[in-house]
Amino acid sequence: MNKTIMEEYIYQIRKYLPIKFADNEANEFLKYLEETYLENIKNKKYQFSFCAFHMLYMAFIYKVKWFLKQRGNTQIENDLQNHIKKNEGVVFNSLFDLSQIPEKTSLEKLLRALTFHVNEIHICTNHVNVRNNCLHSSGKIYYKKTSRIEPFIEEEIEYIEKIQGKIIMELKHLLEQFIDENWNKNYISGDIQIWVQENYISEKDLELITNIDLPLFKDKSDNEEVVFQKILYLLFIYESQKHFKPEKNIFLEKLPMFMIGLKEEIKVQKDKEEKIVSTQKIIAENIEPIVSEFEKEDREKAEKILKLSKKDKTKEVTKPPLSKPSSKEPLVKFPTPPGTRWEDVRIGIVSNDSIKITAKEVHKRFTYAEIGFKDGRKGDLPDKQWDVLKDFAEANGEISWGSKWTRPRLQKRIQTIRKRLQAIMDINDDPFYPYQTTKSYKTKFKIEDKSYP
């Protein structure tokens, strides 16, 4: 069997293991096993490659068992409590604590809880025997060829898939609980990543969850709870897509459900007071910043879905107040040479209030007020977008909202900067790389801080 096929198995199983642990040592442990498997495949030490693979397989077993324990599976919980009673000093505080239970016992208890047939349980517990054959100092090399070890790897992959299929409904309930408990909180993407870690979520979990239809989808978006539950769900989808990279934009596919029965205004409880809020303002603050990160084609499709709602309600919708054109629209334009791309553009922050733009052989200097970065509410002072632009210069054109800025503020300001730069330079292409690709906000143009104290 071709080596590359043997190597592919490690990438298959990795999709079923937690994306990331909060404990760095656990992350290093998985990486160590992956590298051990690949190195021994390369060196034709197939017995040891299976041992590493089997340990990853058992990590998956512990992951599922811990997940079901956390979800209140009575049979799993009773089995663990019985083990604690029989073994003084044993505690189960985390996923890998389950390794204190003999592997055959751990496998059998999980598979029985998931209603597997006794013959299937026998097949899975036999994998422990194979592992033992590999490790015992018997004076024999049992598995000298890939053809001898590969069937057992394929069986473990097969049962990983079967076990995963058994927990789909629990994953659905987990997502519904997450939405029910958190829709009224100011959730951001970073919080979702913490939730993913806390629940040992895998790429495959996310892939399955994002393809589940929830009863929520059929509810009318005519009240605060439903509107913000759907927004949280869309944020969850947006973050999930970054991990397993689906062929289609699932966020875009799910977006129409948000528009079902959407009212022009809804009552919102804020600061212990009930207020009437335009749903278009809610969209602008919570959905449009996400949409702005899409590639052009998907962005236009999403905007079309959102604009359909606006078109139907133009007579009565109270739109978000617009900023004064004099302070936001550029007063001047750069004489951009024909055929200029963003990669040809260089921007230098030359002082606290001015920049120098260069494109090919053309260069000009502007103040922040001339290019629309003046805050009309604060006299002649620059706005927050100017601060973000300067941060880009200090960070060599790449920043994220893990430090100074938080979502949705940064996303909204990037969206505004994008439009202003496109207007100044008369270049329709996006001046930023797609967020999904870089996992940060990165400029296509070169920007640097050339100011001096």
- Cβ atoms of 330 and 424 closer than 8 Å: yes
Q: What pLDDT score does 408 carry?
A: 55
For residues 102 and 79, give the distance between their C-alpha atoms in angstroms, rounded to a whole number.
13
Q: What pLDDT score does 184 carry?
A: 83
- Cβ atoms of 358 and 346 closer than 8 Å: yes
Q: What pLDDT score does 314 carry?
A: 38
Mean pLDDT of 165-194: 86
- Give per-residue pLDDT as tens, 2-31: 457 888 999 999 999 999 888 889 999 999
- Give per-residue pLDDT as tens, 200-243: 999 999 999 999 999 999 999 999 999 999 999 999 999 999 88
Cis peptide before 18 (omega within 30 of 0): no
> Confidence class of residue 424 from pLDDT cuts 50, 70 and 90?
very high
Q: What pLDDT score does 439 carry?
A: 62
- Give per-residue pLDDT as tens, 40-53: 999 999 999 999 99
- Mean pLDDT, the chain, rounded, equals 87
Among residues 51, 61, 14, which one has the least CA distance to residue 128? 51
Residue 173, pLDDT > 80, answer yes
For residues 318 and 138, give the distance between their C-alpha atoms in angstroms, rounded to a whole number.
79
Q: What pLDDT score does 330 carry?
A: 66
Mean pLDDT of 132-149: 87
Q: What is the DSSP letter of 359?
A: E
| Tokens, residue 368 | 């922040």
Q: What pLDDT score does 437 carry?
A: 54
Mean pLDDT of 282-301: 89
> Confidence class of residue 407 from pLDDT cuts 50, 70 and 90?
low
- Cβ atoms of 435 and 441 closer than 8 Å: yes
- For 162-197, give the secondary structure using H, E and C: HHHHHCHHHHHHHHHHHHHHHCCCCCCHHHHHHHHH
| Tokens, residue 231 | 């927004």
- The pTM of this model reads 0.68
Q: Which residue has the higher pLDDT, 347 or 189?
A: 347
Phi, psi of 346, deg, nearest 5: -125, 130
